[in-house]
Structure 1
Amino acid sequence: MKIYVVTAVGKGLTRLSAFDRALQRMGVHNYNLILLSSIVPPQCEVIPVHKYNAPEGEYGHRLYVVKADIRSSERGQFIAAGLGWYQRKDGRGVFVEHTVLGYDKKTVVVEISRKIEDSVHDLCVFRHIHFNPKKVKKAIAVTGVEDKPACALAVAVYQAEGWRP
């Protein structure tokens, strides 16, 4: 199975509409998101992409995802949402999701990166997975809050499933 990792930011008149704009920018706005925890099944390939290529005819389908999102309307804040992942040779592994807010962009990026790395480390140790810090992968969205509410969003898309009639 292929798992696609995508990040986006959005701005809107409300925090909710900023979230929807980020969903739209990443290509998953017409799905019902079903949240998963942190496990990557065996034989999976995790692929970072700029936008998820949603097939035609899946409007309203369930979309299984791991998600990190943060929203703010406080001018001057920087917000970040990120996913980290680690995989064994057979494809199985773990995802972690984190969010951070602060008033300095560089500090926010450093903090979310550290949290992702620390969490991936722990999840691997808890599962007796050999850990090499150089093999941790990350996808992070960062934005500043200015005149409109903002959202930073990171999603790992597993698969879509339709509804039974």
Structure 2
Amino acid sequence: MKSKMTMVETPNVYCLVSGAAEGNTRLNAFDNALLEAGVGDTNLMRMSSICPPGAKEVSRDEIELPGGGLIPLAYAHIDSQTPQMWIASAIAVGIPEDETQPGVIMEFEDHTRLEYVETIVKQMVVDAFEYRKRALKEIKFVGVEHQVTKCAATFAAAVLWYK
């Protein structure tokens, strides 16, 4: 009988966060958007787009992320230095009907309004489930848009964690 070995424990919860902010530089704008999203004092470990089987959605307030900790997440972000331009980032999580199967996280960003980005990212989830031949139960979504004043960034993420 084979035993299941993993390098790290599989996360069992996730939360959806977003932020938009201005800054003096593109990196400062990104950092400020992370702070607004509640993940600014962590080290982001960008993951590919799979939600662990059975993972439950929680609010950002329900998990304690350690300062400086390595935090696994899937995220979308975009920045711009073009005044009056709209920028938007979004995440959509597809929850399977069969909770023993993994879900799918899709991320999308563009120099446009959130409504367009939301449409695209949700369709990406639908497509991903079709490719996998899995039944889709529901789509969870978070997104943010911002009209640039000087230098701005948007950020949306699915934070994978433990409870």
Give the TM-score, by structure 2 length: 0.83
1:117 matched residue in structure 2: 122
Rate the CA distance shift 1:44–1:118 in 2: closer, same or farther, 3 A. Answer: same
- SS for the counterpart of 2:111 is strand
Identity among equivalent positions (%) equals: 26
**Structure 1 residue runs of 4 or more that deviate by more than 3 Å after TM superposition:** 51-56
1:136 alignment partner, one of 135, 139, 144: 139
Matched, 1:59 2:62: no
Cα root mean square deviation, aligned: 1.9
Matches within 5 A, 1:10-159: 10-47=21-58, 49=59, 51=60, 55=64, 58-89=66-97, 90=99, 92-102=102-112, 108-131=113-136, 135-146=138-149, 148-159=150-161
Matched, 1:4 2:15: yes
- Residue type of the alignment partner of 2:124: S
How far apart, in 2, do the equivalents of 1:52 and 1:22 lie? 17
CA contact (8 A) 1:67 1:153 kept: yes
- SS for the counterpart of 2:31 is helix
Q: Which consecutive residues of structure 1, in runs of 5 or more, have no partner in the other structure?
A: 103-107, 161-165
Rate the CA distance shift 1:127–1:25 in 2: closer, same or farther, 3 A. Answer: same
Q: Shift of the alpha carbon at 1:136? A: 2.2
Rate the CA distance shift 1:96–1:6 in 2: closer, same or farther, 3 A. Answer: same
